[in-house]
């Protein structure tokens, strides 16, 4: 049997099970230790029965709902190949849009920029930002030790220097220019209807109370205290609760609030600015 024949069998099995057939290419490349981008050049090579059995077994595990990225042990995020591991959220494509929003917010100023990525998980956001803006000073927090450990491995792998802290929210940092976060934002009740892949994620990375906003609401307070006047907050949220958090942000006094869409036209990113202090009232100054 050739690699091409095996690939077609794997694709067919995945598609009949409702999974993307494209994943077969990554599974075959992984089993044969080939770069997925150059797999095509070797498709007419013969495969041994051991390789065919291993690939079929991996597809079986994938069909049971186990995430492809955990099977491969890695994923790509913003052009960086990142290690992934059970218990730490697998970075999602929509979070690349959050990185793009964050980069837009601090355009044209580079030196001395201080950024905190809250709930860094694998380090995806913090590392993508550092990769794009090497002069920024970037902190990344997470409450989970296994997340900090994985983010550290990914940082070392790419030679990117970020400050990792096992701490909640912004770790009380001050004078920050940008707080960025993909917080846990799913409502608790979503657990009953979630796709099987989510069963392999840490629930604390996904769910945040009745409306999914317990942690993001507190993050509004913590970010307010950490940001400089004029500093920015950029969050990823669910289209189902983003407008509730926008309302809370407006009530708290955040300015320049904007909602941005993701690539599927869903309301996904909330951006807001901590206001500058009011200009002193000239009349009061004159009296003093
Ligand atoms: C949705 S995941 C995001 C992971 C990563 N930033 C990404 O986008 O792939 C949320 C992360 O927030 C962490 N987390 C939950 N509550 C937190 C808190 N109060 N402070 C800091 N991190 C928190 C979780 O452990 C988890 O790693």
Q: What is the DSSP string of 188-257?
A: GGGGGT--GGGGGS-HHHHB-STTS-HHHHHHHHHHHHHEEEEEEEEEE--TTTHHHHHHHHHHHT-EEE
**Ligand 1 touching residue 95 (CB < 6 A):** yes
- Find the 120 Cα to ligand 1 centroid distance in Å: 6
At 204-216, the pLDDT tens digits run 999 999 999 999 9
**Ligand 1 touching residue 212 (CB < 6 A):** no
Q: What pLDDT is attached to residue 280?
A: 57
At 224-281, the pLDDT tens digits run 999 999 999 999 999 999 999 999 999 999 999 999 999 999 999 999 999 998 755 5
**Ligand 1 touching residue 144 (CB < 6 A):** yes
**Ligand 1 touching residue 23 (CB < 6 A):** no
Output the pTM of the full model: 0.92
Structure-model confidence comparison of residues 109 and 194, the more confident one: 194
**Ligand 1 touching residue 141 (CB < 6 A):** yes
């Amino acid at each position: 049997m050739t690699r091409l024949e095996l690939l077609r069998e794997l694709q067919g099995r995945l598609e009949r099970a409702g999974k993307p057939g494209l994943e077969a290419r990554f599974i075959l490349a992984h089993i044969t230790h080939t770069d997925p981008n150059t797999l095509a050049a070797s498709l007419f090579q013969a495969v041994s029965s051991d390789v065919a059995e291993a690939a079929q077994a991996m597809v079986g595990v994938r069909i049971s709902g186990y995430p492809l990225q955990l099977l491969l042990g890695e994923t790509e995020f913003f052009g960086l190949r990142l290690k992934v591991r059970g218990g730490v959220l697998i970075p999602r494509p929509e979070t690349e849009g959050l990185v793009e929003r964050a980069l837009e917010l601090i355009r044209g100023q580079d030196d001395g920029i201080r950024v905190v990525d809250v709930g860094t998980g694998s380090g995806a956001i913090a590392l993508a930002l550092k990769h794009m803006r090497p002069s920024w000073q970037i902190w990344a927090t997470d409450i989970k030790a296994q997340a900090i450990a994985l983010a550290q491995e990914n940082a070392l792998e790419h030679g990117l220097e970020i400050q990792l802290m096992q701490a909640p929210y912004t770790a009380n940092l001050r004078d920050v220019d940008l707080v960025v976060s993909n917080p846990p934002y799913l409502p608790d009740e979503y657990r009953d209807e979630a796709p099987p892949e989510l069963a392999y994620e840490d629930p604390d990375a996904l769910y945040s109370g009745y409306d999914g906003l317990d942690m993001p609401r507190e993050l509004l307070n913590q970010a307010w205290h950490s940001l400089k006047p004029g500093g920015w907050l950029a969050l990823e949220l669910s289209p189902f609760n983003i407008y509730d958090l926008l309302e809370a942000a407006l009530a708290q006094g955040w300015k320049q609030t904007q909602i941005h869409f993701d690539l599927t036209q869903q309301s996904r990113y909330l951006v807001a600015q901590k206001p500058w202090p009011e200009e002193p009232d000239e009349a009061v100054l004159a009296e003093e």
